Structure 1
Amino acid sequence: MLMHYSENTANPLFKNADIAVDLFFILSGFVLMHSYRKKLLLGLSAREYIRKRIIRLYPMFAISMAIGIPALLIAGAAGLADYPLRAMIVASLNNLLFIPYLGDHGVGNFVGAAAQFPVERFTVGEIFPANPSAWSLFFEMIASVALLVLVRLQKRDLIRIIVGSAFLLLATGALLGWEHKGAVPMFFGAGWGTHNFFVGFIRVAYGFTMGVLVYLLHEKPLPQPFGGVLSGILRNDIALYVLLAVLVACPFGIKGLFPMAVIFIVAPLMVYRGASIAPSGRVGAQFAHFLGWLSYPVYCLHFPIGRLVFIYFPHSQQHPVQTIAISVALTIVVSVIATKLIEEPVRTYLTRKFASRKREGLKKAGSVV
């Protein structure tokens, strides 16, 4: 959120925050294995599983689109988007169906309506124009479907997928870096736009499968002395928070070597170690629960809300700190309200609506196992 809000200011924050998406893919593979592995192996149908994933992801995404579509139209009216009306309609209809829009139009994000922002600096080809952050949710849904196969694979097969996708990720990272910077640095921040859309499949294939493998490995201790060193560095949840903050706040990419080290080494180890760490007391548990509860709505809502704040705040360019602070505060407030009053009741209703005795019986059987 802070990376996006500050990207067009004089002092962008958290330049390496996009690696959090790769951490998210790994964590997602781990969490879905934890939540659904036994149920799928016990007979939970593919249709019911996918229905559960849609019920989990879509309501908040729909809320974000209800804000994001008007925000995109307003951006166009303010001269901060070069989408023709027809393209906006087609893109929005596609996105509402969770289908990417592969276009070549651009948007000036988080610059304010009064700013003279050159068209050549527009962000071009966002596959979810009304809510650009939703690109990773599309690939998350693809990965959710892939879990139906991954859950039944042996470790050696998972390793083959990880090695193959890692090689492709390195190759595309080198090609994209060469294309954008004229040298051969590594660029891993792909998948969000038309010009790098297909790299997103490689990115999620590596991260999600790695999360599945980490889940299968996490109950076995790492070999000494490596396991002891990892446990010594990440002693508790506070150390995990600090490490994550350091990773995203690091201002140096070192020609792609820093994100490469995080994606292929640090992030998997963080998930592996984090699975064995309990929260620090009652307060730590409540804090972790709150962050987990708030993270998805904030991720969904921050982009469209920030767009509106930057457009309507009269001095967004002269006072970017105030604009960012307003955007953050409004995002958190709307996230809490939307989750409590809309998203959670809707998910509860949909879950009850599509529940059946057979599914309830399966749930009880799974709890016994």
Structure 2
Amino acid sequence: MGRLQTIDALRGVAALFVLLGHAATFFDLQHIPRFWLAVDLFFLISGYVLGAVYEPRFREGLTATAFMKARVIRLYPLYLVGLILGMASAIAALMLKRGDLSVWEFVVALLSGLLMLPSPTWTGTDSLFPLNFPAWSLFFELVANLVLALIWHRLTTPILLLIIAVSAAGMLACGDPGAGQSWSSILGGFPRVGFSFFLGILIQRHRRPSRSAGWLPWLAVTSVAAVLWLRELPGGALADFATVFLIFPAMLWLVAEREPKLGRIAQALGAMSYPLYVIHAPLISIITRGIVFFGHKPEPMAPWLGIATVLSLCGSALILARFYDRWARTKMERWIARR
């Protein structure tokens, strides 16, 4: 399987919407209505790509341990950058006595974060990853990866359909399409990742053959952006569930194997997507705290503050992808091999 440039574009646009959602005040916007649904698209794409890449390797003898090592090596170096940035923001807040964490809570959050585990509830914080809160989705991603590694040989189409149906029922029973990012909603995170991740695996098994390059993938990318931007839809949460259950899977099925025109732009969007996701929240926190420290507010600086922030973070993400990520993964792989 070659590089799927349309998936690169989808992933990049989803990461941009997460950034815009968390930096809404920099544009003097109350909120970006449905940006958080981008996480469900991430889970869906992850299932699709990992199924396509690793299921043949499992059949050739790849072990669950080797697979999980590969996943941690893929995720951890950039995750660590985000954690360090979150640590810097929290230390600055502690020194200024304006932080949300006590020294004890900070130490516990740091130690658990280094292991990519949620901060314990007894620290008094509801956030799973208080130093870099978007990392909650990486935790659930690794949970889904572990399930795939352990039972891949049993994941027949009927079993996949059963997992997807049970997960969808669990999401509806939870009633919160955005569940999973805090301790108070953590139980809803398991069916949330279960539905999209394993549906992605199912879709890739029956994917359409590749077609020649065209503009349809960009139409799909634009449609996804519109869905994430739309204001409150009739039906409230049901519309959000419909987006996750129907619209995202249909889009992936339609265009995943189609190559877009302007493929280099798609590749750049894909390259920046993960580093942008893991660094944006702590950097936004640092910028916001710096502005407040000097007695100002972000809103009067909009939209120029938002434009500058988005451009700077996207540039930083591309630099990390180009000059840090592959080097760090190679170093980590050699370090693990020596031990």
Instruction: Indicate whether the TM-score tops 0.5.
Output: yes
Answer 1 or 2: which has greater helix percent.
2
Query: Quick check: 1:33–1:151 contact (8 Å CA) kept in 2?
Result: no
Q: Give the counterpart of 2:172 among 155, 170, 173.
A: 170
Q: Give the counterpart of 1:238 among 215, 218, 229.
A: 218
* 1:26 aligned onto 2:6: no
Name 1:181's counterpart in structure 2.
none
In the alignment, the residues of structure 1 paired with residue 230 and residue 122 of structure 2 have an alpha-carbon distance, to the nearest angstrom, of 31
Normalized against structure 2, the TM-score is what? 0.85
**Over residues 189-239 of structure 1, what are the superposed CA-to-partner deviations in whole Å (9 max), with x where a residue is unaligned?**
111111111211111111111111111222489xxxxxxxxx9xx971111
In the alignment, the residues of structure 1 paired with residue 123 and residue 115 of structure 2 have an alpha-carbon distance, to the nearest angstrom, of 20
Name 1:85's counterpart in structure 2.
103
**Over residues 338-367 of structure 1, what are the superposed CA-to-partner deviations in whole Å (9 max), with x where a residue is unaligned?**
3333322111233456679xxxxxxxxxxx
Q: Map of 1:57-76 to 2, 5 A cutoff?
A: 57-76=75-94
Query: Quick check: 2:271–2:321 contact (8 Å CA) kept in 1?
Result: no
Q: Aligned letter for 2:230?
A: C
Q: CA deviation at 1:68?
A: 0.8
In the alignment, the residues of structure 1 paired with residue 23 and residue 227 of structure 2 have an alpha-carbon distance, to the nearest angstrom, of 19
Q: Aligned letter for 1:215?
A: Q
In the alignment, the residues of structure 2 paired with residue 7 and residue 136 of structure 1 have an alpha-carbon distance, to the nearest angstrom, of 23
Q: Aligned letter for 1:197?
A: I
**What is the DSSP-based 3-state SS (H/G/I as helix, E as strand, rest coil) of the residue aligned with 1:251?**
coil
Q: CA deviation at 1:103?
A: 3.5
Normalized against structure 1, the TM-score is what? 0.78
* 1:329 aligned onto 2:330: no
In the alignment, the residues of structure 2 paired with residue 9 and residue 288 of structure 1 have an alpha-carbon distance, to the nearest angstrom, of 25
In the alignment, the residues of structure 1 paired with residue 26 and residue 309 of structure 2 have an alpha-carbon distance, to the nearest angstrom, of 14
Name 2:157's counterpart in structure 1.
155
Unmatched 5+ stretches in structure 1: 107-123, 174-186, 222-230, 357-369
Q: Map of 1:279-358 to 2, 5 A cutoff?
A: 279-280=260-261, 284-313=262-291, 314=294, 315=296, 316-351=298-333
Name 1:140's counterpart in structure 2.
141
Name 2:178's counterpart in structure 1.
189
Q: Please say which structure displays the higher CA radius of gyration.
A: 1
Query: Quick check: 1:72–1:129 contact (8 Å CA) kept in 2?
Result: no
**Over residues 276-317 of structure 1, what are the superposed CA-to-partner deviations in whole Å (9 max), with x where a residue is unaligned?**
31111xxx2111111111100000000011111111134324
In the alignment, the residues of structure 2 paired with residue 9 and residue 243 of structure 1 have an alpha-carbon distance, to the nearest angstrom, of 22
In the alignment, the residues of structure 2 paired with residue 276 and residue 11 of structure 1 have an alpha-carbon distance, to the nearest angstrom, of 36
Q: Aligned letter for 1:205?
A: G
Query: Quick check: 2:52–2:205 contact (8 Å CA) kept in 1?
Result: no
**What is the DSSP-based 3-state SS (H/G/I as helix, E as strand, rest coil) of the residue aligned with 1:128?**
coil
Unmatched 5+ stretches in structure 2: 1-18
Query: Quick check: 1:104–1:194 contact (8 Å CA) kept in 2?
Result: no
Q: Give the counterpart of 1:207 among 193, 196, 201.
A: 196
Which deviates more, 196-205 or 212-221? Answer: 212-221
Q: Aligned letter for 1:247?
A: V
**Over residues 229-255 of structure 1, what are the superposed CA-to-partner deviations in whole Å (9 max), with x where a residue is unaligned?**
xx9xx9711111111111111011432
How many residue pairs match? The answer is 312
**Larger RCO (CA under 8 A, 6+ residues apart):** 2
Aligned CA-pair RMSD: 2.5
Identity of aligned residues (%): 28
Query: Quick check: 1:305–1:330 contact (8 Å CA) kept in 2?
Result: no
In the alignment, the residues of structure 1 paired with residue 229 and residue 26 of structure 2 have an alpha-carbon distance, to the nearest angstrom, of 17
**What is the DSSP-based 3-state SS (H/G/I as helix, E as strand, rest coil) of the residue aligned with 2:135?**
helix
In the alignment, the residues of structure 2 paired with residue 102 and residue 199 of structure 1 have an alpha-carbon distance, to the nearest angstrom, of 18
Name 2:238's counterpart in structure 1.
257
Query: Quick check: 1:68–1:304 contact (8 Å CA) kept in 2?
Result: yes
In the alignment, the residues of structure 1 paired with residue 27 and residue 272 of structure 2 have an alpha-carbon distance, to the nearest angstrom, of 26
